[in-house]
Amino acid sequence: MNITERRISTTVLVIGTGGSGLRAAIELAEQGVSVLAVGKRPRIDTHTSLAAGGINAALGTMDAEDSWQQHAADTIKESYGLANPHTAQIVAKGAAQGIADLERYGMAFAREDDGRISQRFFGAHTYRRTAFAGDYTGLEIQRSLVNRAAQLDVPILDSLYITRILVRDGVVFGAYGFDLADGTPHLIHADAVILAAGGHNRIWRRTSSRRDENTGDSFRLAVEAGARLRDPELVQFHPSGIIEPENAAGTLISEAARGEGGILRNGLGERFMKNYDPERMELSTRDRVALAAYTEITEGRGTANGGVWLDVSHLPRETIMTRLPRVYQTMLELQMLDITAEPIEIAPTAHYSMGGVWVRPEDHSTEVAGLYAIGEASSGLHGANRLGGNSLIELLVFGRIVGRAAAEYSAGLETQRRSRDAEAQARHEISELLAADGPENVRALQRAVRNTMTEHAGVARDEAGLLTGLRELDEITERTDKVGIHPDIAGFGDLAHAFDLKASLIAARATLEAARERRETRGCHNRSDYPDLDPALQVNLVWSPTDGVVREEIPPVPDEIAELMVDVSADGKLVE
């Protein structure tokens, strides 16, 4: 490349400017530590801003008997025994501080008449512990964090794509990337790197993520730096993503639509949930409703477009306009559909990566010295089914903890040793792709990955399908050697898509190989050839390209939490 390389030095580099990345950057700035945050999306439009439901903390504002121990117990129970108990404890215990931090940053929570933060039932919670701001909770959190970061003068580069974390002898010393607008290469030296670049649900055809986010970037950057992935096969499929238009397929219809009394019907007009969960019907858990809809569709009882119907038109118009305003507006804008009069066509959609980069529970450090992972990029909290509202509080709790841990790690370094070879390799990787002029189209190959994952590793999986998926991935990987990259007047998006493709291939392989190893049905992971839960598989599956999948024991649940893990009543709740 002929463009002059830009060189930057900072104490800590944060990759990703969503909720977890900004919270870590704020903590570092408040501690007086030099930090740089970089993202490939505008900071106000990160994935966090899409989160609607709410954020959990056992504040006891509505139910005084709630406790952090009960929050941890509910989290572990919903995880089907795969959550790390230590991680669950840390989040549940630190949640109230997370909410207090948001209040300090000016977050406008919904409140009761007497000024208490309002909390509602969400997911399989024993008590009301989900705080919220209308159905725009994630967006309000993101705005609050962006404003606080601005007050602290945290430097943020919005259109910087990181291509490689720089490592020497198993120790991080920075990262390399390029500007999406003009292609300027960036060499960033840093004592520590915090990876907060999301999950991998964009590698399915129908997903709640936007086009160029959650393509598995965190997974690739971590693995190529020498870290490992934990439970990549555990992906939550949301029951209700829209089917049309094509460019918005997977956009979520909030589960509040079912919570307010929405009815699910198949293509024959039958209310099918009575066959899957006759007691809870549409208020069943997210994994059950998704599997039910998937089964109706695959067994030929779906709509002509391969979906099912979600109908709220029988509800009073006032209820829809006051309780489901975002759903009403979204369907009007995307399909000119009036949900007060007509049903919504939906299908299960890939929604959340419950696995991610392997990290230690106490500080989310990886096996690469100086490298940390947080948010959807990390693993340990959610197991095989995420408790609704836990994803947002996780960002706040571990953003704070990891910011402090990275600062402490940097303060303990005597020297920072760099590697010219690692820097040269990162430069070469970009220049080689820019010189690529083959016949293969990067976008077409991304679509091929999504088709493979949708066909063979969707809501339900089996051995034959997973093996077919792995064979197809091998073929797609071979074709990547013949891509053509063409930067144009609009910028270097094509180059970014090529790196997104590399990430998707690593994430897809990890997912397929771990899904093969998990020969059972547990939570979100449905093996049609192994329909029962296997107690021997109450383990985490850890993947690396060199060692494949290895089993990792989960620590025992402390007695004070285990005794609280009882079945939660679903009366009057939308079960997540």
Backbone φ, ψ for residue 421 (5° rounding): -65, -45
| CB-CB contact of 449 with 508 (8 Å) | yes
Residues 6+ apart with CB under 8 A from 71: 56, 57, 58, 91, 92, 95, 125, 129
Query: Which amino acid, one-letter code, is at 169?
Result: D
CA–CA gap between residue 111 and residue 95 (Å, rounded): 18
36 DSSP assignment: E
Is residue 66 classed as helix, strand or coil in its secondary structure? Answer: coil
In 323-419 the beta strands, taken as DSSP E runs, fall at 344-353, 356-357, 371-373
Residues 6+ apart with CB under 8 A from 316: none
Q: How far is CA 420 from CA 161, 187, 415, 416, 561, in A?
A: 21, 11, 16, 13, 50
Per DSSP bridges, beta strands 229-230 and 540-544 are: antiparallel
| CB-CB contact of 189 with 9 (8 Å) | yes
Angle between helices 390-411 and 19-30 (to 10 degrees): 40
Of 71, 238, 323, 456, the active-site residue reads 238
CA–CA gap between residue 52 and residue 256 (Å, rounded): 10
Please say if 238 is a catalytic residue.
yes
Q: H/E element holding 478?
A: helix 463-479
CA–CA gap between residue 333 and residue 335 (Å, rounded): 6
Measure CA 526 to chain center.
Answer: 19
CA–CA gap between residue 388 and residue 409 (Å, rounded): 33
Kindly provide the b/e burial profile for residues 118-131, where b requires at least 16 CB atoms within 10 angstroms of the residue's own CB: bbbbbbbbbbbbbb
Question: What Rg do the C-alpha atoms of the chain give, in angstroms?
Answer: 23
CA–CA gap between residue 300 and residue 349 (Å, rounded): 18
| CB-CB contact of 461 with 527 (8 Å) | yes
Please say if 43 is a catalytic residue.
no
Question: DSSP per residue over 423-462, as a string?
Answer: HHHHHHHHHHHHT-B-SB-HHHHHHHHHHHHHHHSSSEE-
- Alpha helix segments (H runs only) across 360-441: 390-411, 420-434
Of 43, 71, 230, 258, the active-site residue reads 258
Catalytic machinery residues:
238, 258
